[in-house]
Amino acid sequence: MTPFTYARAEDAAGAIALTGAHADSRYLGGGTNLIDLMREGIEAPAALIDVTGLPSGIEPRDDGGVWIGAAVKNTTLAADRTIRTRYPALSRAILAGASGQIRNMATVGGNILQRTRCTYFYDDAARCNKRAPGTGCDAIGGFNRIHAILGASPACVATHPSDMCVAMLALDAIVHLDGPMGARSIPLADLHRLPGDTPEIDTVLRPNELIAAVELPALPFAARSAYRKVRDRASYAFALVSVAAALDVDGGTIRDVRLALGGVAHRPWRAAKAEAALRGRPATEASFRAAAEAELADAAALRDNGFKIELAKRTIVATLGDVMEAGA
Ligand SMILES: Cc1cc2nc3c(=O)[nH]c(=O)nc-3n(C[C@H](O)[C@H](O)[C@H](O)COP(=O)(O)OP(=O)(O)OC[C@H]3O[C@@H](n4cnc5c(N)ncnc54)[C@H](O)[C@@H]3O)c2cc1C
């Protein structure tokens, strides 16, 4: 491992100030992804700035929303009573990820910014445009069972690995950022990028910008939201396909809906076409299937991952069914 310095920040301002001392620093959350990347030689920062001292509160808002500090541990967030009652899909998504030990260490900020699990990204004998821009992508002609079916490019077919982000995306999360150029807030939907010609850039974050907090707006019908994750093993495995869903049904007709997919694209995928197809329709399996067909109409398979297209459709239908059973 390349030598690096370590410093712990007490707050956002302190963390941002510390980045000025090193040309190549990284914020450190629980370290469950970044330290692995450093051990593998994929990332080699000169300095780590520990941001686990940033706000770690979960604050319910009177309007029905909730404010979540970036340093909140995944375990704490999943277990929180407000989250479990107002946004159960988020609690279930977090508990579907990683292991108990990892969730105890992992933070909200780090989970959002974890890097892809594409095996070619982690294999320095392979060509990977995300790890080494301009070298090519061995996943495209290789073993690509876990790779993207939506929004991929000729440069990169990697997927975003987070379960938590899929639920947060469906719940219209806002990410509060702070950095050398000041504070700003953006929808989570705008944070992660599609790969295009620059797959080495995962997000729209500016240099040394940090995640200070995540805010979930009030969404009363999310109290009956659901999350489904399909994977090769029952635990300790990343999603092949996952779905977060919330439905607002009035007299058998869908008044409103939130739907997002994981494991299918370079970023958590908001299923906007399916949502549009569902609003105003009867809350039936036929409507759910038609919406799933609409969302996956542009999906493109590689050699090994064609099964994901039908799997995503079925998982959308099943997850919406779960929400109905919960009493949407
Ligand atoms: C074996 C294994 C299995 C896993 N399975 C799953 C799974 O099934 N589902 C899933 O979703 N995840 C899974 N994970 C990933 C795990 O959830 C992430 O490693 C974890 O959430 C990262 O959080 P962290 O705080 O440890 O981040 P770190 O490793 O500390 O950081 C990750 C990235 O975020 C940046 N960062 C951290 N905090 C901030 C901040 N506040 N502002 C700006 N940048 C910041 C770091 O610089 C780094 O680039 C798995 C991990 C392992 C090792």
Q: How far apart are CA 134 and CA 61, in angstroms?
A: 46
Q: What is the CATH number of the domain that holds 23?
A: 3.30.43.10
Length of the chain in terms of residues written: 328
Do the domain assignments include residue 11?
yes
Do the domain assignments include residue 263?
yes
CB atoms closer than 10 angstroms to residue 106: 26
Q: What is the pLDDT of residues 269-299, one digit of tens each?
A: 999 999 999 999 999 999 999 999 999 999 9
Do the domain assignments include residue 267?
yes
Q: How far apart are CA 273 and CA 298, in angstroms?
A: 11
Do the domain assignments include residue 138?
no
How many domains does the chain fold into? 2
Provide the residue type at 327 as one letter.
Answer: G
Structure tokens at 144: 């690509």
Residue 5 DSSP one-character state: E
Domain boundary among 19, 37, 52: 52
Q: What is the CATH number of the domain that holds 259?
A: 3.30.390.50
Do the domain assignments include residue 295?
yes
Q: What is the pLDDT of residues 26-35, one digit of tens each?
A: 999 999 999 9
Print the domain residue range for 18: 5-52
Number of H helices, E strands in the chain: 12, 12
Q: What is the pLDDT of residues 203-238, one digit of tens each?
A: 999 999 999 999 999 999 999 999 999 999 988 899
Do the domain assignments include residue 131?
no
Do the domain assignments include residue 85?
no
Q: How many angstroms separate the alpha carbon of residue 32 from the centre of ligand 1?
A: 6
Closest by CA position to 64, among listed 148, 138, 145, 172: 172
Residue 158 DSSP one-character state: -
Q: How many angstroms separate the alpha carbon of residue 111 from the centre of ligand 1?
A: 4
Give the number of the atom of ligand 1 that is nearest the alpha carbon of residue 29.
Answer: 30
- Atom 6 of ligand 1: nearest residue by CA position: 98
Provide the residue type at 182 as one letter.
Answer: G
Structure tokens at 241: 């396909």
**51 in contact with ligand 1, CB cutoff 6 A:** yes
Do the domain assignments include residue 288?
yes
Contact 30, 105 (CB under 8 A): yes
